[in-house]
Structure 1
């Protein structure tokens, strides 16, 4: 009875085992120690398209193991045979390809274990699954990842290009930096041709990435002149909005092609096989063309890459048009400012120099000004002023105040204090100009000296007097309220006249607050810095012109932020210009000034009349006026 039960149990276990192997959902095969197939379950028959009878007794490796293209795998490279060779490994797994009966391959993921019977190695059991679905999912995921990475790279490139385009108004500098963004991300070399509308006479920039151990190559040169026929052909091709494909072979085979005259030399010098030429256009204007090329071993640009280059070309075109508009507005503003600023008169052996620096970010125009002109009595008048603002409105107000002061000073032979009071009333009642600070001064004295400064200050930084020995002193006298404040508020304030002897060979500096004040520096520190450098330069630059002095002073101080106007007066040596003086005159006054070059100083052709030396009222330090 017991024996019958054991037989029944063994039979039931065999049926159960076959049921498990049949419905496992994975292929199972066993091989003996020689590698011959001894068992195949139904799922393995399904996956491989072969019956168990066709596979039993066949060498498993020779029958099934293949590469993905169906070619045989050398036996010594078969990882599943490792278990048959008696190695230490008892279990192995991996990914391979099995050959189906129809000649196709199926990717599998497998796991193998040594098969032992009664403690002795009897072969190997291999369990495998069809990995095609997972492989396809992985490939799709990899493709999506690659597409996302490519899209991210293109978006990053567009972002980098956009940041560059909005960060400069220099077309040439933009071109140099732009090409380094495109190479090697979009091609092996790139070139940018800019028409004269945005680059003077026209410029060409090119950059080739490193290759074959060579260093990168950068080219920069004027655009080669084109015959009229070729120029019209290129303009016609670039008049569209779509990029143009070309190759070095096409250009060499068709020397009369529109782009052959401009691009054949690029292929000759930089190499490459294919290129995309992108027109740079905006608002129906053409500004040049962008070329991106690839070497012989690289595939031509794809449609997606050409669309990207087309988008970059449109952005460049808009940026170049904005640069063109900026420079046009800047030229208009600069012309206006130069017309508002005064040329300097040539007065005997006095030497003057003027400088004007616009506020950073302003369109070369603002409310700061200097002025120098001769009065009816032969005295030279000096003015430095600052009307609130840094725009065209401030410049217009500055012109009003300047012209009023000129007219009042010429028409009324009165002390500077009286002229200032008249100006304050005139500005208040006849102009909408805001408040202004200024200095109005008279340089009085005859040829050979002595010379004297007679001035008033309306809320303006004080003049700086620098001797030839380097001694410096701010002239703080004559200080009064700003123009436009006393009369408006009916304060009844006055501007006291001040006097100062001007030593021979000394330099007088009149300046606006932009020279000595900025966001990062208080005016007290700025005044101390001005005084320090002016003293050093006076000693080191003895014998140099007042123009040299101004240029070196501005370089040392490096003002930033606000408008800066600077007017410097260099006094002659003692006795120079007197009758019988044989001393050669100083170098002629430099024609350089911020004023328009075609303008002459008012009164520059008028002979200087006899100069009357004012006398001072006893104990008051003021001139006596008739």
Structure 2
């Protein structure tokens, strides 16, 4: 046990535990004043009484357990005016010092120079609560007196006594350790209230607690920032204990003061480290939360792109968008589509509660027929950014929402679905004006929308808006293409003796318009002409060229001077060249004439087109021989040939374009064989025949045109 270790242990174990305090009158060797803890040690003692009698009343023992005698025990030394700077004894049970016999550290100092207490001594019994420290203290007590004196003097324990009978509680005595700790000498401290130790950094609450204890006559322990005489700050733990005389009058306060700057610094370092750890944990948790939110945001956007880009139907795209945001971003949501003038042309909505579907449908129907104003109208016109509206039930929002629509019924229906906060988000396309608007609604009981929700909704709105724009553009192009194709593919005329069906099928990788065409022309006289052709290309340019070509073909078919199909095709070829048309096309042109024997004459000429197919009444199929002609637009000078065939009534003549028979990596003969087999097995009705051929062979990437003509009896 080194000198430094003893000092450290004794200082550490005194702490803020209650101490027993005596004031001993030295001439009479009598205990005249005690604090409440000392009274508990000797509850039957009647003051004043000799120190030996008080020791017996408190059942003090030496370290061997024997009763103290008047030889060398601490109180005897005090009676002889000798200081006791540290000695171990043990106390009986039954006080705040402990429930069992427990070691105490005794410090006793004569109060020389104290006003009215010059012939008194201060005796303090400090509990040794820490087991290891107590053992160290008791071991130290067995060392020689010089070592023990140095150890206790090094503890930093300062003792002060204040007069409790004077209003300002002036100090009447301080020990040398107080001077060593504070720098204030005995004469500089005595007679003054100890507030002179306070300074600019002292928390006023700590002195106020001490003053409250002094005025109420109670003990307390307070840690306060004090200042040495040289201005150096230190943390002072002050344990105040009231001292009472024989008649129970409060006479003094004894303060045990300990410099705990090291402990406070350690506590602060620990608290700072703990706070830093908690802050780091909070930062990590916040970073993790933000990362999770960012990942969820990216997942939502990725899912939106995947799901919304999977359709080119704008209505289906809106439905998928609503399913994405409910219930993640809203309890219910609606997408509003403009009509070009900033009003509602269409609306779609979904609620997380399927039971409210009828009410949602009623709301959508009401929205479709209402005129909107306010933020929705502004967004429909493309004039305002996204907006977050919270506190929907507040007076300000309630007043504002009456300006949103002229139909109070719409507001009532939305209230019935539940509204507490909402996000109004544009879905901008390429025009960035007049695009859809999405409204995300959270009902009462759900969390209000946050700025993060708004950012996610805006990002989602940008992505969804472009995909919706794509779908709208596709629908517009599809509508235009369908109208163009229908205008170019005429309604077939009714021709006596003929049953006719036609079909057009756009290729999987192509546009809805192309250069494939068919014609049935009721030419002058008693004949009927049919044509099937394919202008090179699969777009509107091919369709436009096909329209020009069909016009020339119809005009030449009506020319009576062109008496054979070969002459008609040759004349068309000449005209395209003369007009500067760069069109190249394959065509089969045929003329049908009924003879008097119940058969039909079919004369045809081919310009590089697949051969006509004939299915006879008995179900047999054959391809008519071609005439070997080259496509139109290649060489208008080369002559063309016609061939004539006799066909029985009930036969079906089928014209088709190459999309029905050609497949990549396959020779043409394989496709023709497949067509022959399919046609032989198909129904006899020409409409059913066309449908069956498209169902079986219509998976081509090319456009397909079909013309089926059944010859009557």
TM-score tier after normalising by the smaller chain length: 0.5 to 0.7
2:422 pairs with one of 264, 275, 281: 275
Deviates more, 1:176-185 or 1:285-294: 285-294
Q: Deviations over 1:444-503 (max 9, x none)?
A: 11478311221122221111212344322222332322223344xx7x4x5432233333
Q: How many Å separate the matches in 1 of 2:682 and 2:311?
A: 35
Query: How far did residue 161 of structure 1 move?
Result: 2.6
DSSP 3-state at the match of 1:347: coil
Could you report, residue by residue, the CA deviation over 1:426-458 in whole angstroms, capped at 9, with x for unpaired residues? 334433324211101111114783112211222
- Corresponding position of 1:422: 571
Which of 656, 679, 685 is equivalent to 1:511? 656
Q: How does 1:86-485 map to 2 (within 5 A)?
A: 130-196=273-339, 202-209=345-352, 223-225=364-366, 230-232=371-373, 235-236=377-378, 238-239=380-381, 240-245=384-389, 249=393, 256-258=402-404, 261-262=409-410, 264-269=412-417, 271=418, 273-282=420-429, 283=431, 285-360=433-508, 362-411=510-559, 412-446=561-595, 449-485=598-634
Does structure 1 residue 551 correspond to structure 2 residue 691?
yes
Does structure 2 retain, via aligned residues, the 8 Å contact 1:279–1:286? no
Q: Describe the SS at the equivalent of 1:505.
A: coil
Deviation of 1:346 after TM superposition, in Å, equals 1.4
Root-mean-square deviation over aligned CA pairs: 4.5
| CA deviations over 1:319-338 (Å, ceiling 9, x no partner) | 44444444334333333333
Instruction: Give the alignment partner of residue 500 of structure 1, picking from 641, 645, 649.
Output: 645
Residue 45 of structure 1 aligns with which residue?
Answer: none
Aligned residue for 1:560? 700
Determine helix, strand or coil for the equivalent of 1:296: coil
The alpha-carbon distance between structure 1 residues 39 and 309, as it changes in their structure 2 partners (threshold 3 A), is farther
Pairwise CA distance, 1:153: 1.8
Higher relative contact order, structure no. (Cα contacts within 8 Å, ≥ 6 residues apart): 1
Partner of 2:434, secondary structure, is strand
Mapped contact 1:203–1:221 kept (Cα < 8 A) = no
How many angstroms does 1:366 deviate by? 1.4
Following TM superposition, by how much is the alpha carbon of 1:349 offset from its aligned partner in structure 2, in angstroms? 2.5
Secondary structure, counterpart of 1:298 in structure 2:
coil
Q: Is the 8 A contact 1:201 1:222 kept in 2?
A: no
Query: Any stretches of 5+ residues in structure 2 without a counterpart?
Result: 13-99, 103-127, 135-154, 158-220, 222-262
Which of the two has higher C-alpha Rg?
A: 2
Kept after mapping to 2: 8 A contact 1:210/1:217: no
Distance apart, 1:166 and its partner CA: 4.4
Between the aligned partners of 1:277 and 1:263, the Cα distance in structure 2 is 15
Moved more, 276-285 or 505-514: 276-285
Instruction: Tell me the distance in 2 between the aligned counterparts of 1:417 and 1:101.
Output: 114
Q: Is the 8 A contact 1:243 1:278 kept in 2?
A: yes
Conserved? CA contact 2:505–2:698, under 8 Å: no
Q: Deviations over 1:406-443 (max 9, x none)?
A: 22232233222233333334334433324211101111
- Offset of 1:147 from its aligned partner? 0.9
How far residue 149 of structure 1 moved from its aligned partner, in angstroms, is 1.9
Cα distance change on mapping 1:192 and 1:456 into 2, 3 Å:
same
Gaps of 5+ in 1: 1-9, 22-32, 42-50, 54-62, 64-99, 109-128, 575-626
Distance 2:3 2:427 in 1: 84
